[in-house]
Structure 1
Amino acid sequence: METFLSDGVEIAYVDFEPLAQDRGEPIVLVHGFASTHAVNWLFTQWVKTLTEDGRRVIVFDNRGHGQSAKLYDPALFSLDLMAGDVVHLLDHLSIPRADIMGYSLGGRIATVLAIAAPERVRSLILGGIGENLIASSGLPGGLAEAMEAERIEDVDDSMLKIFRGFAEATRSDLNALAACVRGARKAIDPALLATIGAPTLICVGTRDDVAGDPHPLGALFRDVRVVDIPGRDHNRAVGDRLFKQAALEFLDTRP
C-alpha cells in the first residue's frame, strides 16, 4: 500500500487501474467498522468486479484501521474528519469527482461526504445502511466497552461478541476501535439527506439487524433506489452477487 497524510494522519491506500480501458471512471470504496480495505473489498471480489467493469478503483484503510495510523482520541474519529480523509485522498490523486461506495460505517462516512462536499460525489452507493442512519448513532451501545474487554469471553451480549470476534479476526487495534466507536457516534439529520443531489443506491440484507429497514430512507433522498438482498445479514450481504449486480447496473445507468 501507498500512504499519504490527511491533515497529519497517515492513510494507507491502493489505486487499482481498470482492467478494461474503455471507461476508467474512478470509484472510492469506504470500508466498515473493524474491517480493512482487503477484508471488505478484496476478499469479497469487489475490486475484481469493478476493475473488470472498466473502473479505476481506489481503496484505503480508515484511520484507526488496517495499515493506517492508529489514534486513541475519540475526537479524531468524527464522521466529518473521516469523510475529510476521502476528500484529501481524492485531492492527493488529483481526482475532482468520483463515485463513492461505503459499507456500514463506511456508508455513514460516504453520506456525510455527500452532504459536506457534494461537488466531489458523482454517485453514492450505500451498503448495510438502513433507517438506523437517522434513528441512531449507528454503532451498538456497549461496543466500545466490548472492544476494551480483556477477553472476548467477558462480552455477554451476542451481537457485541460478534463485533469483538470480527475485530480480533481482522487483527485490529482494539483500543483504536474503542476510540472510533466513541468518536463516530452520530445520527444523520433526515433533512440533510434531501440536500444530496447525487444519484443514490442503497442495498441491505433482509436479515440485517444492524442497518435497520432501508425503505424509509427512500422518501428522504432526492434520487434513490433501494434494493433488498434476500436472506442476507449484515456480514453476509457485503459480497452478495445481487449487491454487485445492482451496483454495476446503477453505475452503468447513472448520469
Structure 2
Amino acid sequence: MEWLQQYVTAGDGLRLGYRIYDARAGSDGLPLVCLPGLTRNARDFHEIAETIAEDSEKPRRVIAIDYRGRGSSQRATDPATYTPVVEAQDLLTVLDSCGIDKAAFIGTSRGGLILHVLTGLAPQRISAVILNDIGPELGVEGLRQIQAYLRSPVWPTSWAEAEALLKSLHGTDFPALAEADWRTLAHAVYAEREGGLEPDCDPAIAEGFASLDLTQPLPALWPQFDAFPDVPMMMIRGAHSKLLTPETVARMTEHRPSLTVITASGQGHAPLLHLGDLPAAIRTFLYQAN
C-alpha cells in the first residue's frame, strides 16, 4: 500500500520525519504508533504497518516514527540530545501533529524505553502497549553484544554485501530468517550514500552507545514500568535474545499478571514483527485493546 511521508518541527527546531499508513475508509480502531530501536528507523515496521492498516476486520491508521538523527529525520547538532527523554518529547510533538490524543504503541528495544519515559510525561495517551524484546532491565550480555558490532562498523559496498554482513553478524540468533528476510532487513538498516551504503543514522548515536561503561549495570526502570496505566500490554521476546532475559520477563509478569507474553521462535534481538505467528498475535491483541 502507499504511505505518506510527513515532517514536523521539534521544540528545538529539528525536523522530524514519520510515515503515515492510512487505514481504509470506515476504520474506527485506535491508531498504532511504531517506535524503532536505537539506530533503526521507520522502515523496520513497513510490512507490519501494511498488515495492520489493511486488516480486513479492523484496519487502523499506523504511524512509524524516525527519531532525531535516524532515517528521514534531521541529525542533531548536539549529540547530547540523543536521549530517551528528548525522544519521548519528540514523540509527543509527532502525536500532536497527527491529532492523536490516545494510541496503541509498539516499542522495539529503544522504543520500549521511550514508552517507559512516556509514563512520566503523558500516561493518558497510552491505550495499549506492545514491548518488542525490551523491559525495565537490560541483560548485560545483550548490551555487550550490541556494543561489539557498533564499535567496529563495516560499511558494505553493495546490497548483496549488506545482506551477507547482516547474516554473518546475526545469523546465529536469527535462524528463522530466509534469504528474502535478510534482503528486507538490509534495506531497512542501510541507506545509499555517495560511495556505498551506510547505516541510516547519525554515527554519533552508535558511538555514544559503544562508549558506555558496562562494568556497572544500567539503571533499572521498574518504577516506570509500574507506572504504565492499566491498559492491555503484550511482551514479545526473541527466543534467542540476550538483552531481554527470561528472568526479567518472569519478574514483569509478577508486577503485571495480565501481561501477555509471546515468544518469537528462531529470532533474537529484536524480532522482526512481520515473520511467523507475530502478525496474527499482534492483530488479535489490538482487536482486544480496541
Indicate the TM-score class for this superposition, using the shorter chain for normalisation.
Answer: 0.7 to 0.9
2:245 corresponds, among 212, 227, 244, to: 212
Q: How many Å separate the matches in 1 of 2:228 and 2:48?
A: 25
* TM-fit CA distance, 1:238: 3.1
Q: How many Å separate the matches in 1 of 2:141 and 2:17?
A: 25
Alpha-carbon RMSD: 3.2
1:106 corresponds, among 102, 111, 116, to: 111
**5+ residue gaps, structure 2:** 156-165, 171-185, 191-196
Q: 1:193–1:221: 8 Å Cα contact kept in structure 2?
A: no
Map of 1:144-223 to 2, 5 A cutoff?
Answer: 147=150, 149=152, 162=169, 170-179=199-208, 187-197=219-229, 198-213=231-246, 214-221=249-256, 223=258
**1:70 paired to 2:80:** no
Inter-CA distance 233–146: structure 2 relative to 1 (3 Å threshold):
closer
Inter-CA distance 251–144: structure 2 relative to 1 (3 Å threshold):
same
Q: 1:144–1:179: 8 Å Cα contact kept in structure 2?
A: no
For residue 82 of structure 1, what is the aligned residue in structure 2? Answer: 87
For residue 163 of structure 2, what is the aligned residue in structure 1? Answer: none
Paired amino acid for 2:6: E
Normalised by the length of structure 2, the TM-score is 0.72
Paired amino acid for 2:52: L
> Larger Cα Rg: Structure 1 or Structure 2?
2
SS across alignment from 1:100:
strand
1:3 corresponds, among 4, 7, 13, to: 7
Normalised by the length of structure 1, the TM-score is 0.80
* TM-fit CA distance, 1:181: 6.2
224-233 vs 90-99, which moves further: 224-233
Inter-CA distance 238–211: structure 2 relative to 1 (3 Å threshold):
farther
Inter-CA distance 217–138: structure 2 relative to 1 (3 Å threshold):
farther
Q: How many Å separate the matches in 2 of 1:191 and 1:209?
A: 23
Inter-CA distance 231–147: structure 2 relative to 1 (3 Å threshold):
closer
4-13 vs 165-174, which moves further: 165-174
Paired amino acid for 1:174: P
**1:134 paired to 2:133:** no
Q: How many Å separate the matches in 2 of 1:46 and 1:150?
A: 28
